[in-house]
Chain A
Amino acid sequence: MFNYTFHWNQALKALPQMLDGALVTLKIALLSMAIGLAFALLLTLFRLSGSRILSGFARTWIEIARNTPALFQIYMAHFGLGSFGIHLSPFTALLAGIAFNNAGYLAENFRGALKAIPDTQTRAGRSLGMSAIQAFRLIVLPQMLRVAFLPITNQMVWAILMTSLGVTVGMNTDLAGVTQELNARSFRTFEFFAIAAVIYYAIAKVVTLAARLIAWRMFRY
């Protein structure tokens, strides 16, 4: 049917290299998630703060993150910041772009989750003598994270998929970058990228499964 000989051996020989790349991919995704979660929390607090400037800043961040492509955000970090004399390496630019994106989406998820927690909870905490910060940290935050856990998991999978965009700004150590470099040397595009696809699929499934296990362990009453 096809006038083409598949050379799977050649691609399979490069498997260790690609698995190393997969570790880098996972590392970027986890780091970007950690940074994104921290910033999302900050943005949520900004929104709740009541200050016009802070909540305006948070809204601007969230709307830009959600209404422009992730690839655009990575380009902005890699090429755009150069105008301010900030030259980020592909790794940093990729991390910054994905973290920015994650923070925007997660902050929006947190907003939804906050709606599910009745105001009376905070008031009950306050009337027990807690400070506003204590009430948020000890009463609201745990419940919010519980409600937002599934969206956070989804965002984690998204982050993993987004790391593949690094190859467009010259990243060559993550899974997509390693694959592209191998492909540039051998032109066995289909074989290499098919294996990369399988690895990405496996990572995404393992992460989803792990999240389910964690949810099952943590959120039992």
Chain B
Amino acid sequence: MFDTAMTANDLLFLLKGAGMTLAVTGVSVAAGTLMGVIFGVIRVQIGPWWAAPLTFLLDIFRSVPLLIQLVLGNAFQSIAKLGWAPFTTSCVILSLYTAAYCTEIVRGAIDSVPPTTRRAARSLGMTWAQDMRFIVAPLATRIALPSWIGLTLGVMKDSSLVLWLGLIELLRASQVLVTRLQEPLFILSICGLIYFLLSFPIARLGGYLEKRWSPND
């Protein structure tokens, strides 16, 4: 098992795949978080009734398998003749997927800020924007950050599904090598190790922050 036909070039190929995984994750999480914060604030501001259509729409992204979403997104972009590359399609779908989860996190975090604190801010003469910026944002970030880190890692793991659209990310790269070298266990182990090394330290950081920042502890 330990003598392998894998060369340094092949390893580089895997690392390039990992780079693609990180690129897709980075773009999607950045765009998804931005949308998630906006949607989250909107949902809190206009109340559950008026936000119902938005809630329903975002719920779809959480209740339909990501693989199906990717296939649908890809089919849609070809029907609408948008001419998107697989990378763009993957990022758009993954961003919406991230936004759906991020909205829940942001909503929960804003709800966790005691209303009395916010009313106190308003009665001191702060505007809504000031209240949001100086009172809600710092308090809500502490609540949201651990879950947000978890979400980021989840998106990184789920980004392996974009291989279905033909994007050569880490898992797809290892699959290509498996087909060529016929050493599935060894190559997949390396692939798993790379995922683990990317994910584990950040997961630990999230766990630490959660412990460190949880109130009443």
Give the B-binding residues of A (Cβ under 8 A).
1-4, 63-64, 66-72, 75-76, 79-84, 157, 161-165, 167-168, 176, 179, 189-190, 193-194, 196-197, 200-201, 204-205
Is B129 an interface position by the 8 A CB rule? no
Q: Are B178 and A79 closer than 8 Å at their CB atoms?
A: yes
A109 → chain B, closest Cβ, in Å?
13
Q: Which residues of A contact B79 (CB under 8 A)?
A: 2, 4, 190
Give the A-binding residues of B (Cβ under 8 A).
1, 60, 63-69, 71-72, 74-76, 79-81, 153, 157-158, 160-161, 163-164, 171, 175, 178, 183-186, 188-189, 191-192, 195-196, 199-200, 203
Bound-state Cα–Cα, A157 to B59, Å = 13
Bound-state Cα–Cα, A72 to B174, Å = 10
Q: Are A68 and B203 closer than 8 Å at their CB atoms?
A: no
Bound-state Cα–Cα, A63 to B202, Å = 12
Q: Are A165 and B67 closer than 8 Å at their CB atoms?
A: yes
Residue of B nearest to A201 (CB): B63
**B64 is contacted by which of A69, A162, A201 (Cβ under 8 Å)?**
A201
5 A-B residue pairs with CB within 8 Å: A64-B192, A64-B196, A80-B184, A162-B65, A190-B76
Q: Are B65 and A161 closer than 8 Å at their CB atoms?
A: yes
Q: Are A161 and B1 closer than 8 Å at their CB atoms?
A: no
Q: Are B199 and A68 closer than 8 Å at their CB atoms?
A: yes
Q: Which residues of B contact A70 (CB under 8 A)?
A: 157
Q: Are A72 and B68 closer than 8 Å at their CB atoms?
A: no
| Contact of A80 with B68 at beta-carbon distance under 8 Å, contacts A63-B200, A68-B196, A69-B160 already known | no
Residue of B nearest to A165 (CB): B67
| Contact of A68 with B67 at beta-carbon distance under 8 Å, contacts A3-B81, A63-B200 already known | no
| Contact of A66 with B178 at beta-carbon distance under 8 Å, contacts A157-B63, A164-B67, A190-B76 already known | no
Q: Are A190 and B75 closer than 8 Å at their CB atoms?
A: yes
B207 → chain A, closest Cβ, in Å?
10
Q: Which residues of B contact A71 (CB under 8 A)?
A: 160-161, 163, 171
Bound-state Cα–Cα, A204 to B68, Å = 14
Residue of A nearest to B21 (CB): A69
Q: Are B196 and A82 closer than 8 Å at their CB atoms?
A: no
Q: Are B160 and A164 closer than 8 Å at their CB atoms?
A: no
A163 → chain B, closest Cβ, in Å?
8
**A69 is contacted by which of B63, B195, B200 (Cβ under 8 Å)?**
B195
Residue of B nearest to A188 (CB): B75
Q: Are B164 and A80 closer than 8 Å at their CB atoms?
A: no
